[in-house]
Amino acid sequence: MTTSNIKIDNLFFLNKNLIAKRDNTCILCDPSIETFEKFFISQNIFEFQAVIITQLSKDNLHLLYSASPKIVFYMSQELFLLLQKMQRFNLIPVILNMGKIIPYGFPQKIGSFKVTAYKNDDSLYGSLALIISDIQTKITVGYVNIFALYGGHKKRAKQWLKKMAASNMKAFITSKAMFNNKPAQLPTSENGIQKNFCKQLQNKQSAKPFSVFLSPWNPERLHRFYETCTALDKKLVLPAAMAELLHFFFPEDTVYYYATAEVAQQLSPQSGFCGINKQQLAEHPNDFVLQDSFEPCFIDPSIQSEHGFQNHSWLDESNFRHAVEQLDEKMLADLKSRSNTTNILQC
């Protein structure tokens, strides 16, 4: 393992972020605001400037809202679709520069480089693994910011590891967060999260519905919360906007939303979309699990806030906590073997 502040053949640079530079091309991968300003604002030498967003983060979303239209953004099809729907259902403000979708598995020419993107699993949604090659010299690196080596989407890691192993890459680059070696405070797998949630649901009997605070940023996990509630004969009741989001991604579900008088007037009746009112919640509290930001009994592990959840913004940095196992010695040895490199770098 090597720490940051290094160069790879004067083409790839690691500080807090991965930067690819040649001639008039500069590509930043998941840049911090500081890195972005240093390269794209204080310098005017690059004719082609691109940012590749491989994961959900406050910085990445901030750049989408604030960057100049001349900056080209690339992201996964999954993340692009999620951002579209988050805007459509008024969960986040409108983004004017949505950028471009980078296709999965097909090399794309981005300035002086060739970039191939693969689906990744980092416990959030829409993340990417990248193979980046200099077109002229063929020098190649692999980049995956955060990843679940044995996560719920094992086939994704298997695919990008196989492709990286065959690419003769000079280095595999990942985030320092994969090596923090802090003991896990919460379950680090999707199954573990649902087991913990299920256990709390089973042990709670109250005169009020079991209250939760769940995130819209991962529709797959939100769907699993819905399935866990259904298996216990309970109905997960969401705010209308989150219910619409879940219904879009999983149209076969009967999704329940909290139907205030105001919401009932705004929403037209839809198949598989059912309103639950205050009286129903009061009469049968143990039949329902209710999204409630006031005093939630259970909080999605991706959300970590020290300031409570009143007037919570879905753009806050507290929404993007990863639930992945960090690399121990055994996992690191497996990663080196499967990626066909011993040069593991951190940024």
Give the per-residue pLDDT at 36.
Answer: 87
Q: Are 87 and 113 in contact (CB under 8 A)?
A: no
SS3 36: helix
Question: Exposure string (b/e) for 241-255, b if CB count within 10 Å is 16 or more?
Answer: bbbbbbbbebeebeb
Task: Give the pLDDT band of residue 150 (cuts 50, 70, 90).
Answer: confident
pLDDT at position 204, please?
A: 76
Over the stretch 104-149, which tens digit does the pLDDT of each residue have? 999 999 999 999 999 999 999 999 999 999 999 999 999 999 999 9
| Secondary structure (H, E, C), 92-133 | CCCCCCCCEECCECCCEEECCEEEEEEECCCCCCCCEEEEEE
pLDDT value at residue 182? 64
Least confident of 32-41, 155-164, 293-302: 32-41
φ, ψ for residue 298, nearest 5 deg:
-140, 140
Element holding 142 (H helix, E strand): strand 140-143
The tens digit of pLDDT for each residue in 243-290 reads: 999 999 999 989 999 987 666 556 666 667 889 999 999 999 999 999
For residue 295, the model assigns a pLDDT of 85
Q: Which amino acid is at 11?
A: L
CA atoms within 13 A on the CB side of 70: 8
pLDDT for residue 265:
55
Give alpha helix (H) positions in 128-218.
Answer: 154-165, 190-202
The token pair that represents 160 in the structure block: 């990008």
The answer to whether residue 42 scores a pLDDT higher than 60 is no
Among 112, 60, 115, 111, residue whose Cα is nearest residue 83: 60
Structure tokens at 8: 């790879």
* Contact present, 236 and 229 (Cβ < 8 Å): yes
Alpha carbons 16 and 31: distance in angstroms, whole number: 8
pLDDT digits (tens, 9 = 90+) for 6-31: 899 999 999 889 999 998 889 999 99
CB 8 within 8 A of CB 169: no
Average pLDDT over residues 319-324: 92
- Reported pTM: 0.92
CA distance 279 to 273: 18
In the predicted structure, residue 237 carries a pLDDT above the cut 60: yes
When pLDDT is averaged across residues 207-225 and rounded to a whole number, the result is 94
Model confidence over 53-90: pLDDT tens digits?
999 999 999 999 998 888 899 999 999 999 999 999 99
CB 72 within 8 Å of CB 100: yes
pLDDT at 43 exceeding the cut of 70: no
Whether the per-residue pLDDT at 334 is higher than 80: the answer is yes
User: CA-CA distances (angstroms) from residue 188 to 137, 195, 301, 322?
Assistant: 40, 12, 9, 8
Alpha-carbon torsion (80, 83, 87, 93), positive or negative: negative
Tokens representing 4 are: 């940051």
Structure tokens at 212: 């939760």
Q: Is the pLDDT of residue 315 over 80?
A: yes
